[in-house]
Structure 1
């Protein structure tokens, strides 16, 4: 404390403290107003870049209403074809998710800081997984259509690669936060690292991994419905054909079938996840 402050009266010290509080409050208020201004500027620029035009929405909604009205009654003449394409979509999602899970487990071990056998690979593996996550399955499917041709196989590969990165990162984050008491106890017996992981760590994280796999399967069924737009097979291909031809009764039937399948899988996945908890 300075000599001037020590010799100041209590009233003067109180005034000095109040003045300091006002300055601090003013500074915080200025920061708040600056933050609000930046947020508003961000959304103003985003509104402009996104091309938001409410007048187009006002003129487009009546047109959409006429299309929906013309979609009734639905066209059921091609129901067996739609069922086959829907089965392709579910199969694409199931195989892609399964392949991603099998690839994600070893990558998650390498990407877990606390258990990786080769710490030097931690960041390269993390960067690789982030790259996979950063590219959507739609883009991967588009690339594989050019590589392996039209059909569901390209969709399976697209789903598998994107899901691989997302699932491995989730597994790795969970492994990094798991309690390592059993892991350390088994290590003290002289067991190898991979043996310890298999017997002390995997049983602990297995329910979460299975629940995550079910979630991603359910998610990929929904996501794979649009992969047909790029020629990757499934019900999305019929969806695109109907939209190109403006065949709305046929389009309504396809959308209704997608909704029924997605809702059924959602119920099944939710029931199975409850059994795993």
Structure 2
């Protein structure tokens, strides 16, 4: 009896140390992941030697950026205000467009089930194209200036916000909605009075997040001629005017930090029970 138990333990130990199906699968996955990152490293052109030789140059640029140039602060403030305005109008326009699209793209309440998947595909297309690319296209269509930036922000945010809104609707409690519908009220009446009050704080919080995100993202839209502080940023880089560049970056960081704090405070107020 003891010998059989010892043999069973020996067989179990041999199995643990051998190549089981689970262990082979694990090592195959590890090999695939390793191969993926090796190929990605090569495709990304990662070169640590270039980094090591470039850091002293970066340090020299940082040293030459002091003291900052303050004579153009009013101009920079105007360009930053332009950037914030672009983000605000683009985000607001996107939110207004996202609400009806979210209703169509929500499986549980859509009034047009046949448009559910086309609506989702359309939103995925908008989300898949960055606002930078949209702005580049609209610069060619409407010309240089912040209006192209507004349109670029609005289209990308439309897709992203509507998708998030639709996800919130699909995960919402439909008990009040169904109760209002049972009284004979129309679909849109039930949505307005039973569903929207329940998900409104989350939707407002999501909108604030996208406003905050778009303010940061729109700082670079000027690189393609879409107005805002990005244009001044590009001009400073092209001229290697590092004191001017340092001033612009510092002002952007100050404004973004203040807006981030304001957005966080508003979101806390919205989700407070």
What TM-score do you get using the length of structure 1 for normalisation?
0.93
Return the alpha-carbon distance in structure 2 between the equivalents of residues 155 and 161 of structure 1: 10
Q: Does 1:162 align with 2:156?
A: yes
Describe the superposition over 1:124-170 as per-residue Cα deviations: whole angstroms up to 9, x where unpaired: 00000000000000000000000000000000000000000000000
Return the alpha-carbon distance in structure 2 between the equivalents of residues 24 and 136 of structure 1: 50
Return the alpha-carbon distance in structure 1 between the equivalents of residues 47 and 12 of structure 2: 50
Aligned to 1:87: 81
Matched position secondary structure for 1:74: coil
Aligned to 2:264: 270
Alignment counterpart, residue 129 of structure 1, candidates 119, 123, 143: 123
Task: Classify 1:23/1:56 alpha carbon distance in 2 versus 1 (closer, same or farther; 3 Å).
Answer: closer
Return the alpha-carbon distance in structure 2 between the equivalents of residues 110 and 272 of structure 1: 29
Describe the superposition over 1:84-124 as per-residue Cα deviations: whole angstroms up to 9, x where unpaired: 00000000000000000000000000000000001000000
Q: What is the Cα deviation at residue 21 of structure 1?
A: 6.4
Superposed CA RMSD: 1.9
Alignment counterpart, residue 51 of structure 1, candidates 38, 45, 56: 45
Alignment counterpart, residue 173 of structure 2, candidates 179, 184, 206: 179
Residue ranges of structure 2 left out of the alignment (5+ in a row)? none
Aligned to 2:29: 35
Q: What is the Cα deviation at residue 20 of structure 1?
A: 11
Return the alpha-carbon distance in structure 1 between the equivalents of residues 236 and 68 of structure 2: 12
Aligned to 1:247: 241
Matched position secondary structure for 1:226: helix
4+ residue runs over 4 A deviation: 10-15, 17-25
Return the alpha-carbon distance in structure 2 between the equivalents of residues 20 and 167 of structure 1: 55
Return the alpha-carbon distance in structure 2 between the equivalents of residues 121 and 50 of structure 1: 40
